Amino acid sequence: MTISIGDKIPSGNLIKVTEAGPEPVSTDSFFAGRKIALFSVPGAFTPTCSAKHLPGFVEKSAALKAKGIDEVACTAVNDAFVMSAWGKAQGVDGKVTMLADGNGDFVKSLGLEMDGTKFGMGSRGQRFSIVVNDGVVEQLNVEAGGEFRVSAAEFMLEQL
């Protein structure tokens, strides 16, 4: 079942690279008491994700924060080292938190996984964006296959 507006984000862990190395990030604590703009991409270093999706949220992070977002985060079914390297290559510089969902457990718990096997990518997360307010989904924007519109930073800004 796909997560819906008004649902609580499922408990689980994502992984973030810190100066001390990879560390688990509990979804319960990460989303508690804050308003988070989370977006998911099918894969780090992939064309649309690198040319439009992540750069849009980096560029609009201050505008999102001005509209009440406490933190902007990106997730993908990639390992934490790939997410960290992609963030550095894209110049996220603290504007976007890079959270790895290496096994795809988080997107599966949301019901937002996709089958990328015909592209050699295995099981991945769909392209989407979510505004989570104190652990509860306030906005949910899931792209139709092959599209990039409703999960963009600009679209989220219009909704806030």
Which residues are part of the catalytic machinery?
49
The CA distance from 22 to 4, in Å, is: 30
Rounded CA-CA distance 28/49 in Å is 26
Q: How far apart are CA 151 and CA 28, in angstroms?
A: 23
Please choose, from the candidates 137, 133, 140, the residue with its C-alpha nearest in 3D space to the C-alpha of residue 67: 133
